[in-house]
């Protein structure tokens, strides 16, 4: 899949959703996880995750702090805030609705 | 909500870039380590593991760049960065920066100055509440309206909430001994209420003050209060003597309010019916100012007053009603409005032209510089700089230049405004121009500077950014042929204009110097002049003459005084009075015949001695030549030659010819005086008649006191105490030396000389910058060619000559054109000039020489730089 606007928008949802299911996570971990979940269909530079994380942090959906990884490396961990949780629910619902509509259009008659 | 929060954070992050930058580097490094660890665990060798991690991250710097765009406010950061870069660049080229800013300052300052004068006179409303509702009323096209008509309109109209009358009246204010004339306006009781103007201290004039028999009150202007009473609020409630009557100061007007007749400045306001005023209230014609009732329109008010006028005509049994026209009240004296508008339009057009020329020249400079920056720009384009970003950057530099110019122009305009406020024109009327630097002027200046930046900056910026990367890097010379041809034509024109202006200025300045050396026919040495105005004292002529006589006697006894006399009008103060005279026995002229005018004035005995103007024949007037004695006159040589050529004029008689061909009394000639200059320095000889002041009384005179010592002002104290002893309310004003007072006649010449000199220098600077720009452009374009020439052994001096030859060629063309135009232009100056011909050879040689030198210098700087081109580098460069 190309780097499209849809991808840009959905990346935020994927990050938030991943944080919701996995708990606090560093950037690398998030990128890996998203890649795995998407079944490696999204071959995108890992680097794009960082501007997206910064945007979410500016909007107040995540907070970050430095911590230690499983492999004993220093890394910056991102955690969902309460408004972040509400945001996941909201955009997930929106997304499902959109997907449902589009699916109905594309369904064979 | 989330946008606000995000915006706030981004703004905060602007100020902690360093920490965030380190944080980001750390985070990306951690990312790489984590990924490398994983890769190694998956069995890669350490080098491959790291490389793979880097690849899938997508380039550390690229990620950082994207991250930065998300952080902070990118546009603001870009602008700040461009500003910083632009400032560094301008600082590195001080000569360019100075030239560009100076040029732009001339253009911007000219426009801002014209705008702020327009603002002061036309745009700015009266400083009163709701000025849009205030109107002036004109009867049959005139502002002056009989007072009784005013009362009628005031009482009968339905649509005006107030209609007030005002008129200028002569007023003398005395306090603590010294009496001085002030510029005063008598106002009807409605005036300040109609304007809606509260006092800054005390109260203004109200209805109760404006009754016959009411105690005298006076309101002072803020400026007069500061000047005369040092802004002491204690003066309010105190008594001052006005025209010899006790008045009470009841209030001080707000500082912004100088009356409703700018640029005439009012010092004091008194009620219309205040005691002591001349002419009497009912005989004084009024200017009318009114306020339209809320809810009524100007058209409704106009219909209403027309209706009142029609009723009035009907009552008086007249066919035609007066035309009472209402028009929105501005600050400006209405009689002056159309002249002022024309003047402002012409000045505005000139200013815009100057600015355009400045812009063209700066655009030339920028083009020359862009030519030198081709490579830098090409490199930046090749590295992926966006075109929009590049234009933005080049425009930022232009905006910087124009901002500096706007700043400098503001300083110029504020300074000029201060000077204008302080200048007092020696024309007898208290005129001052308050040119405020208010928000309107500020907005205009800012807007203009942005517009200017786009005007001169956009073309070079677009052109530079339109560079082809490959040819730019290779350094091929651009095609500049047609572009420079137009610019050369423009510069030729500029040189021509500055030639005309500077030659005009030169001729005028020379004339000014010569005028000081002309023989005036009398001496101004060591003479003090003081105006003495008895018109507010309502003296009978006999009492005034008595006062003049005793004043002369008293001063003549003072050892510091060598001569003293009184004259109606000072010579060389531009004003003069003329009348028709005939010699005794001459026939009445035919009805259509116009007699040559004879000028005249009244003088006291001793006048000729005071100004060292010896009588050729006969005697001076004596105190015996009074109202009861036979009428006598002294004539000048021109008159004697006209009436009695070749004869002795003493004892001959002449008489004036009044309207309807009535003869005046016969006047016997008792003296013959030398010819002199009477009204202006440049005038042709005039026939002149002197009357004894005691036989032709004037209430406004000038006292001339010749001091024994060098310092004529030393006798001023003696004059003051002598006048105060005779009448403490007789005002002394316009104290000066005869030398200064007669200098007024040179004022038009001085103004013209100053103006043309200023404009000429501005035009010269513009032309010089233009020549510099074109030559610099040529040098930049021909760097390779010059390098080859130098490498092949061309003497640097030859290269300089080749380059400057070009600029000298179009300078010479411009000077030639300018000289032809100057010959036409200076012939118009003929009547202005004293002692020099319009084609003064000194000026016509010196000015072209100055222009050639300037042009050579302006071309020499960039041409000289060309010879320092290192041939090797120039060749490798390309």
Average pLDDT value for residue range B873-877: 63
User: What is the pLDDT at residue B264?
Assistant: 75
Token pair in block for residue B745: 């006649």
Instruction: Give the CA angle between residues A32, A38, A44 to the nearest 5°.
Output: 60
Quickly count helices (H) and strands (E) in chain B: 26, 22
pLDDT in tens, B559-594: 888 899 999 988 887 677 788 888 888 877 777 777
> CB neighbours (10 Å) of residue B634?
26
Rounded Cα distance between B633 and B641, Å, is: 16
Average pLDDT value for residue range B77-82: 77
**Contact indicator for B466, B378 with CB cutoff of 8 Å:** no
To the nearest whole angstrom, how far is the Cα of B14 from the nearest Cα of chain A?
A: 13
Rounded Cα distance between B102 and B765, Å, is: 8
Lowest mean pLDDT, pick from B27-31, B97-101, B861-865: B861-865
- Nearest CB among B2, B27, B58 relative to A46 is that of B58
User: Chain A partners of B60 at a C-beta cutoff of 8 Å?
Assistant: 47
pLDDT in tens, B141-198: 677 888 988 998 999 999 999 999 999 888 888 887 777 888 889 999 999 999 988 8
Rounded Cα distance between B461 and B445, Å, is: 23
Is residue A5 scored above 50 in pLDDT?
Answer: no
Which residue shows structure tokens 């003049």? B548
Q: Which band of pLDDT confidence, cut at 50, 70 and 90, is reported for residue A1? A: very low
Question: Cβ separation of B30 and A26 shorter than 8 Å?
Answer: yes
Calculate the alpha carbon distances from A58 to B492, B727, B819 in Å. Answer: 60, 85, 71
User: What is the pLDDT at residue B396?
Assistant: 84
Question: E strand or H helix at B89, and its extent?
Answer: helix B74-92
Average pLDDT value for residue range B101-121: 82
User: What's the alpha-carbon Rg for chain A, to the nearest Å?
Assistant: 15
Token pair in block for residue B528: 């003090």
Question: Cβ separation of B2 and A28 shorter than 8 Å?
Answer: no
SS3 call for A75: strand
To the nearest whole angstrom, how far is the Cα of B392 from the nearest Cα of chain A?
A: 25
Nearest to B253 by CA among B187, B193, B204: B204
Q: Which band of pLDDT confidence, cut at 50, 70 and 90, is reported for residue A42? A: low
Calculate the alpha carbon distances from B307 to B153, B165, B294, B314, B635 in Å. Answer: 10, 20, 20, 11, 58
Lowest mean pLDDT, pick from A33-42, B45-54, B409-418, B642-651: A33-42
Task: Using a pLDDT cut of 90, give the percent of chain B over it.
Answer: 17
User: Chain A partners of B33 at a C-beta cutoff of 8 Å?
Assistant: 73
Rounded Cα distance between B757 and B50, Å, is: 75
- Nearest CB among A27, A54, A74 relative to B70 is that of A54
User: Chain B partners of A47 at a C-beta cutoff of 8 Å?
Assistant: 28, 57-60, 62-63, 66
Average pLDDT value for residue range B840-867: 84
Rounded Cα distance between B515 and B508, Å, is: 10
DSSP string, B90-146: HHH-HHHHHHHHHHHHHHHHHHHHHHHHHIIIIISPPSSSSGGGEEEEEETTBS-B-
Q: How many residues does chain A have?
A: 109
- Nearest CB among B30, B33, B60 relative to A76 is that of B30
Q: Which residues of B713-727 are buried (b: 16+ CB within 10 A; e: fewer)?
A: eebbebbbebbbeeb
Question: Cβ separation of B63 and A50 shorter than 8 Å?
Answer: yes
User: Chain B partners of A28 at a C-beta cutoff of 8 Å?
Assistant: 30-31, 34-35
Rounded Cα distance between B611 and B704, Å, is: 9
To the nearest whole angstrom, how far is the Cα of A106 from the nearest Cα of chain B?
A: 34
pLDDT in tens, B239-255: 998 888 899 999 999 98
> Cis before residue B279, ω within 30 degrees of 0?
yes
pLDDT in tens, B352-398: 877 877 887 787 777 777 777 777 777 777 776 677 777 888 888 88
Rounded Cα distance between B537 and B218, Å, is: 18
To the nearest whole angstrom, how far is the Cα of B73 from the nearest Cα of chain A?
A: 12
> Cis before residue B263, ω within 30 degrees of 0?
yes
Rounded Cα distance between B415 and B341, Å, is: 24
Question: Cβ separation of A60 and B2 shorter than 8 Å?
Answer: yes
Nearest to B536 by CA among B13, B173, B805, B191: B173
pLDDT in tens, B458-469: 777 777 666 655
- Nearest CB among A55, A71, A76 relative to B37 is that of A71
Rounded Cα distance between B119 and B121, Å, is: 6
Nearest to B135 by CA among B302, B268, B370: B302
Q: Which band of pLDDT confidence, cut at 50, 70 and 90, is reported for residue B552? A: very high
User: Chain B partners of A73 at a C-beta cutoff of 8 Å?
Assistant: 30, 33-34, 37
User: What is the pLDDT at residue B878?
Assistant: 46
Rounded Cα distance between B159 and B294, Å, is: 9
Which residue shows structure tokens 């002022």? B340
Pairing type for strands B598-603 and B653-656 reads unpaired
Nearest CA in chain B to A30: B31
User: What is the pLDDT at residue B688?
Assistant: 93
To the nearest whole angstrom, how far is the Cα of B4 from the nearest Cα of chain A?
A: 9
Strand spans (E) along B190-298: 201-202, 216-220, 239-242, 245-252, 268-271, 287-292
Is residue B93 scored above 60 in pLDDT?
Answer: yes
Nearest to B494 by CA among B155, B760, B121: B760
Rounded Cα distance between A34 and B752, Å, is: 83
To the nearest whole angstrom, how far is the Cα of A16 from the nearest Cα of chain B?
A: 16
Q: Which band of pLDDT confidence, cut at 50, 70 and 90, is reported for residue B222? A: very high
Token pair in block for residue B279: 């002419």
Token pair in block for residue B174: 């005395």
Nearest to B662 by CA among B580, B593, B600: B580
Is the C-alpha dihedral spanning B174, B178, B181, B182 positive or negative? Answer: negative
Rounded Cα distance between A92 and A97, Å, is: 9
Nearest CA in chain B to A75: B30
Query: Number of CB pairs < 8 Å for A and B?
Result: 77
Token pair in block for residue B713: 């002002």
Question: E strand or H helix at A62, and its extent?
Answer: strand A62-68
Q: Which band of pLDDT confidence, cut at 50, 70 and 90, is reported for residue B484? A: low
Is residue B711 scored above 80 in pLDDT?
Answer: no
Question: Cβ separation of B31 and A48 shorter than 8 Å?
Answer: no
- Nearest CB among B5, B35, B67 relative to A50 is that of B67
Question: E strand or H helix at B527, and its extent?
Answer: strand B527-533
Q: Which residues pair with B703 in a beta bridge?
A: B530, B566
Q: Which band of pLDDT confidence, cut at 50, 70 and 90, is reported for residue B479? A: very low
- Nearest CB among B37, B56, B67 relative to A54 is that of B67
Rounded Cα distance between B800 and B861, Å, is: 10
Question: Cβ separation of A76 and B37 shorter than 8 Å?
Answer: no
User: What is the pLDDT at residue B291?
Assistant: 93
Query: Does residue B752 or residue B406 have the better pLDDT?
Result: B406
Pairing type for strands B287-292 and B134-139 reads antiparallel
User: What is the pLDDT at residue B670?
Assistant: 94
Is residue B476 scored above 90 in pLDDT?
Answer: no
Average pLDDT value for residue range A95-103: 86
Specify the pTM.
Answer: 0.61
User: What is the pLDDT at residue B472?
Assistant: 55
- Nearest CB among B6, B26, B57 relative to A45 is that of B57
Question: Cβ separation of A28 and B31 shorter than 8 Å?
Answer: yes
Rounded Cα distance between B489 and B122, Å, is: 38
Question: E strand or H helix at A49, and its extent?
Answer: helix A49-59
Rounded Cα distance between B483 and B477, Å, is: 14
Is residue A62 scored above 70 in pLDDT?
Answer: yes
Is the C-alpha dihedral spanning B116, B121, B127, B130 positive or negative? Answer: negative
Average pLDDT value for residue range B847-872: 80
Strongest mean pLDDT among B302-316, B446-460, B745-759: B302-316
pLDDT in tens, B773-793: 777 777 777 777 777 787 787
Average pLDDT value for residue range B867-875: 69
């Amino acid at each position: 899949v190309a780097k499209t606007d849809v991808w840009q928008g959905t990346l935020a949802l994927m990050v938030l959703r991943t944080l919701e299911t996995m708990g606090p996570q560093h950037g690398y971990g998030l990128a890996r996880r998203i890649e795995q979940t998407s079944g490696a269909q999204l071959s995108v530079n890992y680097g794009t995750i960082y501007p997206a994380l910064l945007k979410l942090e500016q909007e107040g959906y995540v907070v970050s702090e430095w911590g230690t990884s499983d492999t004993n490396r220093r890394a910056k961990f991102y955690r969902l805030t309460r408004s972040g949780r509400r945001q996941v629910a909201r955009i997930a619902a929106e997304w499902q609705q959109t997907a449902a509509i589009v699916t109905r259009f594309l369904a064979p008659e | 909500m989330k946008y606000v929060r995000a915006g706030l954070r981004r703004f905060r992050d602007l100020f902690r870039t360093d920490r965030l930058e380190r944080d980001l580097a750390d985070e990306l490094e951690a990312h790489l380590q984590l990924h490398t660890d994983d890769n190694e665990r998956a069995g890669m060798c350490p080098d491959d593991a790291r490389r793979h991690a880097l690849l899938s991250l997508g380039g550390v710097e690229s990620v950082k760049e994207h991250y930065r765009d998300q952080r902070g406010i990118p546009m603001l950061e870009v602008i700040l960065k461009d500003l910083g870069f632009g400032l560094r660049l301008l600082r590195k080229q001080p000569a360019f920066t100075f030239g560009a800013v100076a040029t732009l300052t001339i253009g911007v300052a000219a426009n801002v100055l014209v705008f702020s004068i327009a603002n002061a006179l036309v745009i700015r409303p009266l400083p009163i509440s709701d000025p849009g509702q205030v109107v002036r009323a004109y009867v049959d096209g005139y502002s002056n309206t009989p007072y009784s008509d005013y009362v009628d309109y005031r009482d009968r109209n339905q649509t005006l909430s107030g209609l007030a009358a005002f008129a200028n009246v002569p007023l003398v204010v005395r306090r603590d001994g010294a009496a001085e004339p002030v510029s005063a306006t008598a106002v009807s009781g409605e005036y300040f209420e109609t304007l809606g103007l509260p006092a800054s201290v005390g109260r203004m004039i109200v209805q109760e003050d404006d009754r016959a028999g009411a105690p005298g009150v006076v309101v002072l202007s803020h400026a007069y209060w500061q000047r005369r009473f040092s802004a002491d609020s204690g003066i309010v409630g105190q008594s001052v003597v006005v025209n010899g009557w006790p008045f009470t100061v009841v209030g001080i007007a707000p500082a912004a309010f100088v009356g409703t007749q700018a640029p005439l400045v009012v010092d004091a306001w008194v009620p219309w019916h205040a005691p002591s005023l001349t002419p009497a209230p009912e005989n004084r014609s009024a200017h009318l100012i009114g306020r339209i009732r809320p809810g009524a329109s100007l058209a409704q008010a106009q219909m209403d007053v027309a209706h009142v006028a029609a009723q009035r005509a009907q009552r008086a049994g007249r066919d035609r009603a007066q035309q009472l026209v209402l028009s929105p009240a501005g600050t400006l004296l209405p009689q002056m409005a159309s002249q002022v508008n024309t003047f402002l339009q012409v000045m505005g057009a000139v200013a815009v032209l100057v600015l355009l020329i400045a812009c063209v020249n700066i655009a030339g400079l920028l083009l020359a510089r862009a030519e030198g920056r081709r490579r830098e720009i090409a490199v930046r384009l090749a590295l992926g700089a966006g075109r929009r970003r590049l234009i933005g950057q080049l425009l930022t530099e232009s905006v910087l230049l124009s901002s500096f110019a706007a700043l400098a122009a503001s300083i110029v305009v504020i300074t000029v405004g201060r000077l204008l406020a302080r200048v007092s024109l020696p024309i007898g009327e208290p005129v001052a121009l308050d040119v405020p630097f208010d928000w309107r002027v500020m907005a205009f200046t800012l807007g203009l500077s942005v517009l200017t930046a786009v005007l001169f900056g956009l073309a070079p910026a677009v052109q530079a950014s339109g560079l082809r990367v490959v040819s730019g890097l290779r350094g091929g010379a651009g095609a500049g042929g047609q572009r420079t041809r137009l610019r050369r034509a423009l510069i030729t024109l500029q040189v021509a204009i500055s030639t005309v202006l500077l030659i005009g200025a030169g001729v005028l300045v020379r004339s000014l110097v010569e005028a000081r050396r002309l023989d005036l026919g009398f001496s101004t040495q060591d003479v003090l002049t003081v105006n003495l105005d008895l018109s507010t004292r309502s003296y009978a002529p006999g009492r005034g003459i008595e006062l003049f006589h005793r004043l002369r006697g008293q001063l003549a006894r003072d050892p510091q005084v060598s001569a003293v006399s009184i004259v109606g009008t000072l010579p060389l103060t531009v004003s003069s009075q003329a009348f028709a005279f005939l010699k005794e026995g001459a026939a009445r002229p035919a009805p259509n015949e116009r007699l040559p005018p004879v000028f005249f004035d009244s003088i006291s005995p001793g006048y000729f001695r005071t100004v060292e103007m010896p009588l050729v024949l006969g005697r001076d007037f004596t105190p015996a030549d009074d109202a009861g004695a036979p009428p006598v006159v002294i004539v000048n040589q021109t008159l004697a030659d006209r009436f009695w050529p070749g004869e002795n004029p003493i004892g001959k008689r002449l008489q004036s010819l009044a309207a309807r061909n009535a003869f005046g009394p016969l006047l016997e000639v008792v003296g013959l005086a030398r010819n002199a200059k009477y009204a202006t320095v440049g005038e042709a000889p005039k026939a002149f008649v002197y009357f004894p002041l005691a036989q032709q009384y004037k209430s406004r005179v000038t006292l001339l006191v010749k001091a024994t010592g060098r310092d004529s002002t030393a006798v001023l104290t003696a004059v003051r105490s002598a006048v105060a002893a005779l009448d403490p309310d007789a005002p002394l004003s316009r104290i000066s030396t005869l030398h200064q007072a007669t200098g007024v006649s040179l004022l038009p010449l001085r103004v013209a000389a100053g103006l043309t000199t200023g404009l000429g220098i501005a035009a010269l600077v513009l032309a010089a910058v233009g020549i510099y720009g074109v030559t610099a452009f040529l040098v930049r374009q021909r760097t390779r060619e010059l390098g080859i020439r130098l490498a092949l052994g061309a003497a640097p001096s030859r290269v300089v000559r080749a380059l400057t030859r070009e600029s000298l060629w179009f300078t010479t063309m411009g000077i030639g054109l300018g000289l032809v135009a100057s010959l036409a232009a200076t012939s118009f100056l003929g009547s202005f000039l004293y002692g020099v011909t319009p084609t003064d050879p000194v000026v016509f040689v010196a000015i072209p020489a100055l222009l050639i030198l300037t042009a050579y210098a302006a071309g020499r700087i960039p041409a000289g730089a060309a010879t320092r081109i290192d041939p090797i580098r120039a060749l490798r460069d390309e």
